[in-house]
Amino acid sequence: MSDMNIPGVSGTRGVDSQKMIDDLMKVERRPLDRMENEVDEYQTEKQVWQELSRTASSLSDQARSLYGFQNPFSERVATSSDQSVLTATAQRQAPESVNRLEVEQIAGADTFVSSSVPLDTRVPEGRYGFRVGEQERFFNFRGGDLGDFAEAVTRNVGELVEARVVKDSAQSEVITFRSQLTGAENRMQFLEQAQQTALDLGVLERSISGERTLAISQSEVAPWRGELSGETVSVRAGTMEVSPGGSVSLPVEPRMSVSENMVLELDVRVVDRSDEITEPPPPPEGPNVPDAGSVTLDGITIPYPQSDIEMPDYQPPEEPRIVTDSTFLFAREGGQDVALPALNAGEEFQTIQIPLAEHVDSISALNIRNENTHRDFYVQNARIFDPTARGEFEPRNPIETASDAQIKLDGITATRSSNTIDDLIPGATLELHGPSRGPVNLEVEPDRETIKDSVIGFVGQYNQLIRDINILTRSNESIIQEIGYFSDEEREQARERLGMMQGDSGLNQMRARLQQIMMNSYPTDAGQELNLLAQLGISTSAGGFNTGGVNTSRLRGYLEMDEAQFDAALQNDMGAVRQLFGSDTDGDLATDEGIAYRVQQYVRPFVQPGGIFQNRQNTLDSQISRTEDDMGDYADHLDRYEQRLRQQFGRMENAMNEMDANQRSLQRLNNNSGN
């Protein structure tokens, strides 16, 4: 008994029962390992279908974007010939046009700077206020240095006025105030304590410029160049009419000096009466000379001789003299009359401004004459003023003053309070950057670059879907080698999926159908001149290279684009290009034909909720769920099996322990018997 040894029994007999249990469990676990591998395969396949669905959805969306409501063929772009002067953006509804613009002046905002003040300058406490246009803001300041004050201004009224301190020397600094609103109506004013502080800092000074309103009344007007005739000059309710041949003077009393910014502003209109000029009468027919008669004697009639008086030749009257003269206004300076710029006014009143400083240094009267033979001149609301003046106060050191933008469109001047103008050219928003030295052309045209980018995106999504289907349904590794843009990681992933769904009839059919759609012809207004994608430069051989043999990559169905050919097609017949991708052939205002339309209609059942790709994923989810349930059941079985093994080995070890005990007892009996 002492030499008895049972393999697999632990204890003192040198056998590892745990190892035997582990080995038995490893054999029993093989079905579970197989099910885990199945779940991994299902998960990988599901991931492939998810990625395939995303790629196909992207293709569907890209196709839809080429013919849907937001298609790029309706996009517009505005191109400026001088972007330093103006730029523009165009909305989809903007009509194509070429516009000739001149920026005479951009809109400005008040920007004032103080005089240099010492670094230790203090700003007193008080209630400070600012007005810009019609808006007012106030805040309380507890006192502090210039930097504290600038920070308080920006913090409390920054939507209207910003303040900034600049150290202009080692011992001094200045503060600037900038209005946030442009336009002549948005002048910046300092209120309450801000006004006195601005005066103390040298931001403002008291105004010395005046304003004169020229009285237009029958009692105030004076003769000029002859007597004042009521037939040629009349005044009614503040409006003066000067008929052809009339002249009149509006005194400026007392005579005033003209400062740099002074302008003459008045409302004028010119009424053309050329249709009333009568044509000269036709030549007269001449006198009607009666018959001289005759005398009859003894049956013989003798006529009297006709009058032989010679009629003078007809002398037509002189044609009416027509004079056209657009110089109506003259400024009296000393003893001279200086002609002011000619007026091109229409038949409706319009306000004009003439910079007087460019013509005279002083003015004592505004003289008006009308030397036209067929036009009446009207004037009202005349005044001379400084547009930069601000009542009692004016800026001492203005960097910029509030002013309107002035821009000419096809010779017509328009004024706006902002440099962003969206109501001058239909569908376009202008951004003014600076005055122009001459005309600037702004062309509104289709956004061909956006169209090309959209088509490139469509072709790229198509190629990606065909690439993924090729990898999944074919086992030839050259398919992967032909794709030069793959990273190492992408190339390795493609190898793992190569031929994974080989023989899947649905994917093979999808690839064939998509290739057919892309190669078919579609109706356009250009007819056979443009009804194929290849005529746009998009085909399997658009690159134009020739290797002298069969290029297998072309046989995969990938498309290439000849951008030069595509650009030419867009330039020559954009309408046909648009119809090639999507068109309405039956007049019901809904797209029913075209490459992009056909691709989107075909792919939609695959990618829509509950579609083919979703059903594939649902099937895999069901298989994964069933397999995971089986794995759970089998795991429970393994737990029970392992427990039985441990129990069995435990009983075996107990039995062997009893055998060892009996053996030791017998050994002791043998030893005792020998003694």
598: number of Cβ within 10 Å: 21
State residue 575's pLDDT score: 94
* CA neighbor of 454 nearest in space, from 572, 568, 558, 577: 577
- Examine the pLDDT at 638 and tell me if it is beyond 80: yes
State residue 317's pLDDT score: 66
Domain ranges of the chain: 17-38+614-674, 51-71+449-613, 111-206, 212-273+323-443
**Rounded to 5 degrees, what are φ and ψ at 654?**
-65, -40
Higher-confidence residue of 498 and 211: namely 498
Measured CA to CA in angstroms, residue 79 lies from 405, 427, 447, 451, 531 at distances of: 20, 14, 10, 16, 31
Measured CA to CA in angstroms, residue 40 lies from 49, 224, 498 at distances of: 14, 106, 17
State residue 403's pLDDT score: 92
Higher-confidence residue of 169 and 665: namely 169
576: number of Cβ within 10 Å: 21
> Rounded to two decimals, what is the model's pTM?
0.63
- Examine the pLDDT at 355 and tell me if it is beyond 50: yes
State residue 210's pLDDT score: 66
pLDDT digits (tens, 9 = 90+) for 387-423: 767 667 889 999 999 999 999 998 889 999 999 999 9
Segment 197-222 shows an average pLDDT of 86
Q: Percent of the chain, pLDDT > 70?
A: 90
pLDDT digits (tens, 9 = 90+) for 69-102: 889 999 999 999 999 999 999 999 899 999 999 9
Six-digit token string for 664: 């030791």
Segment 626-630 shows an average pLDDT of 88
Confidence of residue 657 (pLDDT cuts 50, 70, 90): confident
- Examine the pLDDT at 275 and tell me if it is beyond 90: no
* CB 113 within 8 Å of CB 102: no
Six-digit token string for 352: 């004009």
**Rounded to 5 degrees, what are φ and ψ at 236?**
-140, 120
59: number of Cβ within 10 Å: 28
Residues 6+ away with beta carbon under 8 Å from 379: 216, 239, 240, 242, 266, 267, 268, 368
- Examine the pLDDT at 637 and tell me if it is beyond 90: no
- Examine the pLDDT at 451 and tell me if it is beyond 50: yes
Measured CA to CA in angstroms, residue 604 lies from 463, 558, 598, 660 at distances of: 17, 21, 10, 79
Segment 46-60 shows an average pLDDT of 94
* CA neighbor of 565 nearest in space, from 538, 525, 596, 529: 538
Segment 30-44 shows an average pLDDT of 88
Return the SS3 of 424. coil
Mean confidence (pLDDT) of the chain = 88
Confidence of residue 300 (pLDDT cuts 50, 70, 90): confident
State residue 546's pLDDT score: 42
In residues, how long is the chain?
A: 675
* CB 257 within 8 Å of CB 249: no
Residue 178's beta-bridge partner residues?
111, 162
340-354, 503-517, 649-663: which is most confident: 503-517
* CB 67 within 8 Å of CB 582: yes
Calpha distance 29→37 (Å, rounded): 13
Higher-confidence residue of 513 and 44: namely 513
Tell me which residue has tokens 């007005």: 131
Segment 104-117 shows an average pLDDT of 96
Calpha distance 87→120 (Å, rounded): 45
Tell me which residue has tokens 């769920």: 625
Calpha distance 381→291 (Å, rounded): 71
- Examine the pLDDT at 225 and tell me if it is beyond 70: yes
**What is the sign of the dihedral through the CA atoms of 24, 25, 26 and 27?**
positive
Calpha distance 438→292 (Å, rounded): 79
Fold of 212-273+323-443: Jelly Rolls (2.60.120)
Q: Percent of the chain, pLDDT > 90?
A: 59
Q: What is the CA radius of gyration of the chain?
A: 50
Give 142's DSSP letter. -
Six-digit token string for 428: 């376009």
* CA neighbor of 308 nearest in space, from 285, 286, 296, 292: 292
pLDDT digits (tens, 9 = 90+) for 15-25: 577 888 888 88
Question: Concatenated DSSP letters for 155-175?
Answer: HHHTTTEEEEEE--SSSEEEE
- CB-hemisphere CA count at 13 Å for 216? 22
* CB 594 within 8 Å of CB 607: no
State residue 278's pLDDT score: 60
